[in-house]
Amino acid sequence: MARLVALQQQTQPSLSLLPSSLSDFSGTRLHSQVQCKRRVWKTKGALQVSASSSKNILIMGGTRFIGVFLSRLLVKEGHQVTLFTRGKAPISQQLPGESDQDYAEFSSKILHLKGDRKDSEFVKTSLAAKGFDVVYDINGREAVEVEPILDALPKLEQFIYCSSAGVYLKSDLLPHSEKDAVDPKSRHKGKLETESFLESRGVNWTSIRPVYIYGPLNYNPVEEWFFHRLKAGRPIPIPNSGIQITQLGHVKDLAKAFIQVLGNEKASQQVFNISGEKYVSFDGLAKACAKAAGFPEPEIVHYNPKEFDFGKKKAFPFRDQHFFASIDKAKHVLGWEPEFDLVEGLADSYNLDFGRGTYRKEADFSTDDLILGKSLVLQA
């Protein structure tokens, strides 16, 4: 078998966006629509939801990413919302594109409970005094962090947990469904153990398993990793063939899924995968980021990761494998539908965040330089 040709220049033009059913892929190419001038995308993902009975809701976390959008939806529905945080970040911040009036209304209603969730005694006493109806656990990682919450709230109506599709056991049979085997040794094993603990306690729980999340305020280097390189006019290094298939879901769509399980009997003691409608290759994602942000189609350089020693640095933000999940259960059981397609969602993220000069991490091209330096030597 021929050895992988490392560092070859990418020549295939496809965005490689795949429908959620791989068998109905028609081969539609989007690369011809790539323009240097940024398109004006219609505003999507407006935070509007239907009214429901008011609940006293606690969000564990809520000031960084997912909870920022979720808390706004809940407040707009008329719920009393309290954020439990260590108080290291402001409890509210005005979102890009959010009107002064909307922000003032939100910030006047959001409540705060300051504390460390690892201090189990404080959690028990403070939560018991508040008597919350519903808990959204956005930042929980271990089952031991959940136990004092349940102990403090014996009359809790629902516990809604943010898990991860990373709990699934690696498989050749994709997409992952909620019934697939899980990996007790995965780096998300704590979330898997939390789901098991919730089931063992017999509470009314729901678990959401996102794949890769993206959108404005994303603190993980997902789309931001590509945007940094596109802005700098640099080639984009992608491991191996670049045809590895993955999946991204917009944070606003995720927030709406969290809303749709609230008080929903069909969501009781259920797990739901949540992500975007279509799958995309690594190469296609690079091109989709460029298209969304109005950059020229990028130069893509493939490399063999085994030929490099990056130390503790991560050269690429995605796991180097096929990784995507079916969202059919959420669609059929909850009636939930993702609003954003990938390019529109990336445009939303760019226009409301990176394109305004805001991002979470400074650009670091040190691993890129190692890859590209070797590429130039091989081409000489």
- Mind listing the pLDDT tens digit of every residue in the chain (380 residues)? 333 333 333 334 444 455 544 433 333 333 333 333 333 344 454 434 343 589 999 999 999 999 999 999 999 999 999 999 999 999 999 998 899 999 999 999 999 999 999 999 999 999 999 999 999 999 999 999 999 999 999 999 999 999 999 999 999 999 999 999 999 999 999 999 999 999 999 999 999 999 999 999 999 999 999 999 999 999 999 999 999 999 999 999 999 999 999 999 999 999 999 999 999 999 999 999 999 999 999 999 999 999 999 999 999 999 999 999 999 999 999 999 999 999 999 999 999 999 999 999 999 999 999 999 986 544 54
What b-and-e string marks burial along 33-58, b requiring 16 or more CB atoms within 10 Å of the CB? ebeeeeeebeeebebebeeeeebebb
Q: Given the DSSP bridges, would you call strands 245-246 and 111-114 parallel, antiparallel or unpaired?
A: unpaired
> pTM for the complete prediction?
0.86
- Residue 31 burial class via C-beta count within 10 angstroms: exposed 0-12, middle 13-18, buried 19 and up: middle
- Residue pair 364/290 in contact by the 8 Å Cβ criterion: no
Token pair, residue 96, equals 């890009």
Distant-in-sequence, close-in-space partners of 276: CB < 8 Å, separation ≥ 6: 211, 247, 248, 249, 250, 253, 327, 338, 340, 341, 342, 345
Q: Given the DSSP bridges, would you call strands 205-210 and 212-214 parallel, antiparallel or unpaired?
A: unpaired
Give the whole-angstrom CA distance, residue 336 versus residue 210.
14
Give the whole-angstrom CA distance, residue 329 versus residue 333.
6
| Length of the chain measured in residues | 380
3-state class (DSSP) for residue 7:
coil
Q: Is the dihedral of CA 196, 209, 183, 214 positive or negative?
A: negative
Give the whole-angstrom CA distance, residue 247 versus residue 321.
11
DSSP state of 56: E
Give the whole-angstrom CA distance, residue 43 versus residue 145.
38
Distant-in-sequence, close-in-space partners of 326: CB < 8 Å, separation ≥ 6: 20, 175, 176, 177, 273
DSSP H helical ranges for the chain: 66-76, 100-109, 120-130, 147-152, 189-201, 223-231, 251-261, 282-293, 328-329, 342-352, 366-379
Q: Given the DSSP bridges, would you call strands 111-114 and 80-85 parallel, antiparallel or unpaired?
A: parallel
Which candidate, 322, 334, 357, places its Cα nearest to that of 258? 334
Q: How many CB atoms lie within 10 A of CB 133?
A: 19
Peptide bond into 175 cis (omega under 30): yes
Give the whole-angstrom CA distance, residue 257 versus residue 273.
10
Q: What residues does 205 pair with on adjacent strands?
A: 159
Instruction: At 17, give phi and psi (nearest 5°).
Output: -85, 125
Q: Given the DSSP bridges, would you call strands 205-210 and 270-274 parallel, antiparallel or unpaired?
A: parallel
Distant-in-sequence, close-in-space partners of 176: CB < 8 Å, separation ≥ 6: 165, 168, 273, 324, 325, 326
Which candidate, 334, 218, 185, 361, places its Cα nearest to that of 267? 334
Give the whole-angstrom CA distance, residue 323 versus residue 321.
6
| Angle subtended by helix axes 342-352 and 223-231, to nearest 10 | 70
Give the whole-angstrom CA distance, residue 68 versus residue 46.
14
Which candidate, 137, 136, 112, places its Cα nearest to that of 126? 112
